[in-house]
């Protein structure tokens, strides 16, 4: 096997193990919720909420918070303004429908 094939195989196995682990944890959280007389989806959602920042902490923002860069930082790095321009209200014309007095946009 070539190095590329081994890397692909390793990544596929790692993905399969991660999905199996998430599925088992979700099943367990659902069973715990059922035991507490709640729908299973409550436990599964809570598991997702609690594990989300842990799983995405380093990948999303780089600062460990999982929130990504601040809007001003993102805008300055992309060369855009941090605040979007307000809509041009003059561009919207209102006309009256002949059958009613309600304006049609």
Q: Report which of residues 86 and 68 the model is more confident about.
A: 86
| pLDDT tens-place string over residues 22-72 | 899 999 999 999 999 999 999 999 998 888 766 655 554 545 555 555 555
How far are the Cα atoms of 1, 2, 8, 17 from residue 5, in angstroms, in the given order?
A: 6, 5, 5, 18
Q: What is the dihedral of CA 72, 78, 83, 84, to 10 degrees?
A: -160
**pLDDT of res. 82:** 59
Domain boundaries, the chain: 1-55
């Amino acid at each position: 096997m070539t190095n590329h094939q081994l890397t692909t195989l390793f990544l596929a196995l790692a993905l399969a193990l991660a999905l199996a682990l998430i599925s088992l944890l979700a099943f367990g959280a659902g069973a715990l919720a059922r035991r507490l007389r709640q729908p299973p989806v409550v436990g599964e959602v809570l598991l997702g909420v609690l594990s989300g920042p842990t799983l995405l902490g380093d990948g999303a923002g780089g600062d460990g918070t999982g929130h990504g860069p601040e809007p001003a930082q993102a805008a300055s790095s992309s060369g855009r303004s941090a605040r979007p321009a307000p809509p041009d209200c003059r561009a919207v014309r209102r006309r009256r429908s002949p059958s009613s007095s309600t304006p049609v946009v």
